[in-house]
């Protein structure tokens, strides 16, 4: 992968990944979404603790994290915003030049993301991205693709060996227990009603909350 080829060569430098990433200021991040702004790329990510964050990337010719799920980043806080100053993907490493870094003046009004607001990143941010796929807008008739409407009966699911167990009620009033695998944390917290696809083994393999739709990889 030619990571450096995605950057303006006068603003970034090609490098070698440090032997100790942590002491060099790098932290693993999971990429969820990116938005192209006039002067920078805005990424919605989660750090190694699962905390959601918004980061800005300046001096890139195009999105260097296209089709990349995980990477290591070095981040500097400027005007309250998280600006990417170093990036490692596989064996490729790039770092921002200091003379360019001092010219960066990001908007001070960057939205602050807290853990409790992580739903703004979508359901996928609470799930293992190698086990789940974020889909496009769900169809109007969800029952045609195997979904049913449920109410969540308890505020918190039971956790059994890393599997979440939900106590549900169907729209016919039937009590159902369903299990969710491949979750980093409860994606249905603070949600009372949801469309779910549940297989014959009582495993949840699809979730729809408003226009947010994810399905388990088969």
At residue 155, the 3 state secondary structure works out as coil
Task: Quote the tokens at residue 96.
Answer: 């921002």
What is the reported pLDDT for 51? 77
Chain centroid to Cα 93, Å, comes to 22
- Mean pLDDT, contiguous 10-residue spans, the chain (218 residues): 92 92 89 89 85 91 90 93 95 96 81 43 84 90 94 90 94 92 90 93 95 92
**Adjacent-strand bridge partners of 134:** 214
Residues 6 or more apart from 38 whose CB is under 8 A from it?
none
How much is the pLDDT for 120? 53
**H or E element, residue 100:** helix 98-101
| Structure confidence at residue 121 (pLDDT) | 67
- Nearest C-alpha neighbor of 37 from the set 122, 125, 104: 104
């Amino acid at each position: 992968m030619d990571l450096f080829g995605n950057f303006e060569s006068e603003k970034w430098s090609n490098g070698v990944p440090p032997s100790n990433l942590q002491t060099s200021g790098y932290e693993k991040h999971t990429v969820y979404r990116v938005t192209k702004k006039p002067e920078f790329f805005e990424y919605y990510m989660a750090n190694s603790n699962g905390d959601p964050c918004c980061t800005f990337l300046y001096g890139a010719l195009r999105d260097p994290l296209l089709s990349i799920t995980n990477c290591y980043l070095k981040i500097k806080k400027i005007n309250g915003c998280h600006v990417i100053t170093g990036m490692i993907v596989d064996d490729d490493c790039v770092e921002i030049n200091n003379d360019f870094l001092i010219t960066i003046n990001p908007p001070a009004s960057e939205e602050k993301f807290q853990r409790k607001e992580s739903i703004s990143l979508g359901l996928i941010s609470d799930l293992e991205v190698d086990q789940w796929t974020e889909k496009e807008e769900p169809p109007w008739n969800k029952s045609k693709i195997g979904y049913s409407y449920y109410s969540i009966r308890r505020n918190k699911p039971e956790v059994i060996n890393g599997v979440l167990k939900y106590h549900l009620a169907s729209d016919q009033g039937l009590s159902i227990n369903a299990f969710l695998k491949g979750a980093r944390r409860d994606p249905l917290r603070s949600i009372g009603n949801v469309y779910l696809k549940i297989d014959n083994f009582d495993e949840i393999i699809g979730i729809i909350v408003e226009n947010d739709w994810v399905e388990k990889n088969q």
